[in-house]
Structure 1
Amino acid sequence: MIRALVLAFAQLSDPRVRRVVWIGVLASILAYLLLAGGVWWILAVTPMTGYGWLDGIIDVMGGLGILVLAWLLFPATVGTVSSFFLDEVVERVEARHYPALPAPRHVGWIEELATALRFLLLVLAINLAALPLYIFAPGLNLAVFYTVNGYLLGREYFEMVAHRRLGRGEARALRRARPLKPFLAGVAIAFLSTIPFVNLLVPVVASAFMVHVLQSMSAPLAAGRTTVIRR
């Protein structure tokens, strides 16, 4: 598992992989600049109370609120933007470390979009349900956070990578048959997501990481499909 993570970070030496990182970061910066500029303009031209001094305070507080919100949500936005380019990251990892693999199955953009939306809704729902524990259970909240998000991230990144080689049902069956590796990989991804600046690399590193995790597992596949390598 540690070796797989080291190999995933080493994949950042690939210029095409770094390109995906920069696309996610720069697109997210642009989105937040447009959002912040729009909200600031609305606050500046719209008198909220009719009292100049109070409207000035509201403008300042609103601007600070936007900056805080941008800081908190920026990694998630980077991940969302990057998710549309992660297939290229997986291709580069496979080409570098598993060149004998045949061509993957085609995954349409509708399937990719549906997977991304399902993942986003699931993460929001489960984390909102766990919110009372995050707030009112110091100490326990960290364990809950890493357990919940480790499961979610491990499952979704694993299935995203596995769907290139397996059908949806086969990928799910493989994960359920050997759940420990995807879960531990998910916990590692969740931990990296809490480290400032490193979290900007997480979508790319996690995708590369999960390719190695998948290849370390065994899956009997239907005839005509590739066999996952046992390492």
Structure 2
Amino acid sequence: MILTDVLRALAQFTDRRFRGVLWLGVGLSVLLLVALYAGLLALVGLFAPDTVSLPLIGEVAWIDDALGWGSLLLMLGLSVFLMLPVASMMSGFFLESVAEAVEARHYPGLPPARPVPLADQIRDTVAFLAVLVLVNVAAFAASLAFPPAAPFLFYGVNGWLLGREYFQVAAMRREGRAGARAMRKRHPLRIWGAGCLMAVPLTVPVVNLLVPVLGAATFTHLYHRLSGRKVTRRR
């Protein structure tokens, strides 16, 4: 059933309204990653020497260029981890538009949702980012102690974190904060499973740019399914 939610979300990428939000999300995600990469290059330029003298070789003048290209490869690898906070940060800002497009196509006739105040979105996002960083640091330390468990820890921990965040934001639109929390506690395994599915594409460079919008759509479907609503119309 969770896979059905994902497939419905993917099928709606052909929706013109949906694509507008998708390209906006991809564009902002790219801008954030580029800004982080620019900061990394600035650090390389600040600390890397222009030339280095090596025994028996003499002066080598291409060290800073090598470090620059190396930083690009490093950034591609880091994007796997950087997209975790980017995806979670984007969820609150894009979910309203994505959820409206999903509901207009699949759940017509619903009353207007209660918009989440921007101040609450920012507060929840900052709090979640802090939890995400702390939990991932702990998971990384555990992975160093027992390397074979690293993939399971990464997907399991981040599946739980992403599922918790995306479902809370999706459900809050119609249930309020307390109601969303109560639903989350009633369906922890399903929410965790959907979060794990979102964590998988986050580890694929370029594909991970689609996750903020895909996750918002998937968890909108999951929320309505757990609420007992059925898809009533497809265009």
> Counterpart amino acid of 1:130?
A
| Contact 1:25 1:78 survives alignment (8 Å) | no
Correspondent of 2:200 among 188, 191, 205: 191
Equivalent-residue separation in structure 2 for 1:2 and 1:104 (angstroms)? 25
Tell me the percent identity: 37
Partner of 1:170: 179
Partner of 1:86: 95
| Contact 2:85 2:132 survives alignment (8 Å) | no
Q: What TM-score, normalized to structure 1?
A: 0.81
1:61 aligns with 2:62: no
Partner of 2:20: 19
| Contact 1:93 1:208 survives alignment (8 Å) | yes
Structure 1 gaps of 5+ residues are: 219-227
Equivalent-residue separation in structure 2 for 1:26 and 1:114 (angstroms)? 23
Q: What TM-score, normalized to structure 2?
A: 0.80
Q: Sort the Cα spacing of 1:50 and 1:17 in 2 relative to 1 into closer, same or farther, 3 A.
A: closer
In the TM superposition, residue 230 of structure 1 has moved relative to its aligned partner by 6.5
1:210 aligns with 2:216: no
| Contact 1:90 1:211 survives alignment (8 Å) | yes
State the number of aligned residues: 221
Relative to structure 2, which stretch is displaced further, 35-44 or 3-12? 35-44
In the TM superposition, residue 216 of structure 1 has moved relative to its aligned partner by 1.5
| Contact 2:143 2:150 survives alignment (8 Å) | yes
Structure 2 gaps of 5+ residues are: 53-58
Equivalent-residue separation in structure 2 for 1:77 and 1:19 (angstroms)? 22
Please tell me the root mean square deviation across aligned C-alpha atoms, in Å. 2.8
Equivalent-residue separation in structure 2 for 1:107 and 1:91 (angstroms)? 13
1:127 aligns with 2:136: yes
| Contact 1:107 1:164 survives alignment (8 Å) | yes
Partner of 2:3: 2
